[in-house]
Structures are given as structure tokens and as C-alpha cells.
Amino acid sequence: MESIMNTSIIFIGFLVWLVIAPRFNSPRYSELFLAYMTALLFCLIGSSEIMMIKPAAFFFTVGGSLAFCYIVARMAVKFSVKK
């Protein structure tokens, strides 16, 4: 039961961090991506400090880390069709 609850918290964290991620077509994308990456880093550091007291915050941020990896992979892989 505990692992199912943690999985749902990770999934919710993934969705929230994916929604607040900067959009690629933004003119200030690099600045926004740096701010996004820094916020995620500070959340990871802060939630690791309180992991024993409130593990939900840590698992929420783990979902954010997965969202970050998804965003980087999505930017790195480009598909194009030549006619």
C-alpha cells in the first residue's frame, strides 16, 4: 500500500513539474530553463533534508526530476520527415 501511494505522489510531481516547465518556443527559453533547473535543485536539496519527517515532499520532487529528464530527452531527440 505504501509503494502505491508513493507512486501516485511521484506521478503527481511529474505532472506538476511538467506543467511549470518553460515552453521551447519562448524567446527567453534559456533563462526560464535555468530558473526551472535551479528551482528543482533547491527543492531536491530541501526535500532530502526533511525526508525522514515528510517523505511525500521527497517523492514529489523525484517526480520533478523525472519530468526534468523527460524535458531534456524531448529537446535532444528531434524527428523530421524530408519530402
The parent domain of residue 24 ranges over: 2-76
Is 66 inside any structural domain?
A: yes
Residue 71 identity (one-letter amino acid): I
Average pLDDT value for the chain: 84
Say yes or no to pLDDT of 28 above 80: yes
pTM of the model: 0.78
* pLDDT band with cut points at 50, 70 and 90 for residue 17: confident
Q: Lowest mean pLDDT of 18-27, 32-41, 47-56, name the range.
A: 47-56
pLDDT band, very low/low/confident/very high, at 25 (cuts 50, 70, 90): confident
How many structural domains is the chain composed of?
A: 1
User: What type of residue is 21?
Assistant: A
DSSP-assigned states of every residue in 16-66: HHHHTSPPTT-TTHHHHHHHHHHHHHHHHHHHHHTTTT-HHHHHHHHHHHH
